[in-house]
Amino acid sequence: MTCIFGNELFFTSYFAVKKMTDCQGDGEGTMSPMELFEKLNAQGEKVRSLKSAKAEKAEIDAAVQLLLKLKVDYKQMTGQDYKAGCPPSENLIVSNNGPAADDCDGEDLVDPWNVSASSTKGVDYDKLIVRFGSSKIDKELLERIEKVSGQRAHHFLRRGIFFSHRDMHQILDAYEKHKSFYLYTGRGPSSEAMHVGHLIPFIFTKWLQDVFDIPLVIQMTDDEKYLWKDLTLEECHRFTVENAKDIIACGFDVNKTFIFSDLDYMGASPQFYRNVVKVQKHVTFNQVKGIFGFTDSDCIGKISFPAIQAAPSFSSSFPQIFGGKKDVPCLIPCAIDQDPYFRMTRDVAPRIGLLKPALLHSTFFPALQGAQTKMSASDPNSSIFLTDTPKQIKNKVNKHAFSGGKDTVEEHRKYGGNTEVDVSFLYLTFFLEDDEKLEKIKEDYTSGALLTGELKKILIETLQPMIAQHQERRKQVTDEMVQQFMTPRPLNFKF
């Protein structure tokens, strides 16, 4: 699938709005690079819309002059040329010009609502790191995580499933000095049905909670799903409770975990709402348009929602847990499509006197049909659901899992299969923990010794018990337990 957007920030110019708010303004000098970038986006649009509306020449000239002036300011501030669709990378004043500007023409679309890649191998994650301005989880960071935690790195880390980060070194520096941190992750409860891909961040977060022994907050954005989907508030809240059961079934420690519904907690926690309002005051409509692609006809609930996803990044949003402390660092494990929310959060944080959250980003869990897109709960054939029976798992894998094998057995034996695009193999990288076994499968499939049907069988036999065990654990999660996890209360941990 070819995709027209190279970057989530490109939405600004793609969904060009006819009438822009006035962006002539003062004091670029006090702006952050991101703000200046958004301002440039808006000014570019303004010039375009004046031209297409055949406005007075003088008016167009004035707008162009301002655009040029802003470009000069931008270059001075960042050392980079402004390029629409290429946001400034963080810390760019100290960074070199790098390949950032050149790499924005990729065809992968990645934002909180869409993921599609131009290649069958899936999204080019190295390019995404450059485009988003995050950092690669390299060998050095892996070794540090192992050293500080005293544990072998989780296979999601070893295999590059969590591949990118922001400020993870700072989290480890602090932890080494006995300064604790907390974890924040979330889930948009859009239906009762969760699929195996949804578990990835939770499985990993549980590991982090265990090895670092730290508190965790899980935001259920039922408000977000109400705003974005054709669902009632009651349905969204019910999905929160149902999804919370699947999350709890991952094994979180109730003494260290707080799960909350936005619909409940926003109204119940004055401190949380205060942080939401602070963020709202410091982000303009132009900025969220630039970051999320909102248009003038999006409802105002969507436009202000990013502040609600930002708020849990600040420890002061949870006085019952942190006793009003503002400076407990936050680490957010999430899929990389959520990064736009946290780029915004990190941009705002210093301006409201709060700490920037650190992040660990994962790749997407591919759809059965191939790595070009992620699993989607709305297409039953693209996903393995947590409620699937062993038979359904078998049928789905056999019928729908995209194969990197050859068309005939003879050809396959001769040329071998391609593990880079083979969905069954990709799923095994997520769920088969044994490195040696996985390596052997890779060798055998590549050489042609292992056939597609045999590979699928290995996957089926890995998924069936895993999902059956999940279902067993979920059955044990009672409404009272959900209630317990969702009650605001102190958590058990040492600072």
Stretch that binds ligand TRP, among 121-129, 174-182, 332-340, 378-386 (CB under 6 A): 332-340
Which residue's CB is nearer to ligand TRP, number 106 or number 112? Answer: 112
Q: Are 131 and 104 in contact (CB under 8 A)?
A: yes
Q: Could you tell me the smallest distance in angstroms from the CB atom of residue 303 to ligand TRP?
A: 15
Q: Does 317 bind ligand TRP (CB under 6 A)?
A: no
Q: Could you tell me the smallest distance in angstroms from the CB atom of residue 189 to ligand TRP?
A: 8
Stretch that binds ligand TRP, among 56-64, 216-224, 388-396, 441-449 (CB under 6 A): 216-224
> In DSSP terms, which residues pair with 115 in a beta bridge?
110
Can you tell me which of 78, 221, 424, 452 binds ligand TRP, judged by CB under 6 A?
Answer: 221
Which residue's CB is nearer to ligand TRP, number 184 or number 239? Answer: 184
Q: Could you tell me the smallest distance in angstroms from the CB atom of residue 190 to ligand TRP?
A: 7
Can you tell me which of 85, 106, 122, 188 binds ligand TRP, judged by CB under 6 A?
Answer: 188
Q: Does 246 bind ligand TRP (CB under 6 A)?
A: no
Which residue's CB is nearer to ligand TRP, number 90 or number 224? Answer: 224
Q: Does 309 bind ligand TRP (CB under 6 A)?
A: yes
Which phi and psi (to 5°) does residue 473 adopt? -65, -35
Q: Could you tell me the smallest distance in angstroms from the CB atom of residue 298 to ligand TRP?
A: 16
Query: According to the 3-state scheme, what is the secondary structure of the chain?
Result: CCCCCCCHHHHHHHCCCCCCCCCCCCCHHHCCHHHHHHHHHHHHHHHHHHHHCCCCHHHHHHHHHHHHHHHHHHHHHHCCCCCCCCCCCCCCCCCCCCCHHHHHHCCCEEECCEEECCCCCCCCHHHHHHHHCCEECCHHHHHHHHHHHCCCCCHHHHCCCEEEEECHHHHHHHHHCCCCCEEEEEECCCCCCCEHHHHHHHHHHHHHHHHHCCCEEEEECHHHHHHHCCCCHHHHHHHHHHHHHHHHCCCCCCCCEEEEEHHHHHHHCHHHHHHHHHHHHCCCHHHHHHHHCCCCCCCHHHHHHHHHHHHHHCHHHCHHHHCCCCCCCEEEEEEHHHHHHHHHHHHHHHHHCCCCCEEEEECCCEECCEEEEECCCCCHHHCCECCCCHHHHHHHHHHHCCCCCCCCHHHHHHHCCCCCCCHHHHHHHHHCCCHHHHHHHHHHHHHCCCCHHHHHHHHHHHHHHHHHHHHHHHHCCCHHHHHHHCCCCCCCCCC
Subset of 92-151 contacting ligand TRP (CB under 6 A): 112
Q: Does 424 bind ligand TRP (CB under 6 A)?
A: no
Subset of 80-99 contacting ligand TRP (CB under 6 A): none
Q: Does 338 bind ligand TRP (CB under 6 A)?
A: yes
Can you tell me which of 78, 185, 275, 403 binds ligand TRP, judged by CB under 6 A?
Answer: 185
Q: Could you tell me the smallest distance in angstroms from the CB atom of residue 479 to ligand TRP?
A: 23
Q: Does 416 bind ligand TRP (CB under 6 A)?
A: no
Q: Could you tell me the smallest distance in angstroms from the CB atom of residue 422 to ligand TRP?
A: 27
Stretch that binds ligand TRP, among 13-21, 81-89, 178-186, 433-441 (CB under 6 A): 178-186
In sequence order, the 6+-apart residues with CB closer than 8 A to the CB of 317 are 269, 271, 272, 275, 311
Can you tell me which of 334, 421, 423, 426 binds ligand TRP, judged by CB under 6 A?
Answer: 334
Report how many residues bind ligand TRP under the rule CB under 6 A. 13
Which residue's CB is nearer to ligand TRP, number 66 or number 157? Answer: 157
Q: Does 306 bind ligand TRP (CB under 6 A)?
A: no
Q: Does 259 bind ligand TRP (CB under 6 A)?
A: no
Can you tell me which of 92, 183, 288, 332 binds ligand TRP, judged by CB under 6 A?
Answer: 332
Which residue's CB is nearer to ligand TRP, number 220 or number 460? Answer: 220
Q: Does 219 bind ligand TRP (CB under 6 A)?
A: yes
| Interface ranges with ligand TRP (CB under 6 A) | 112, 184-188, 219, 221, 224, 309, 332, 334, 338
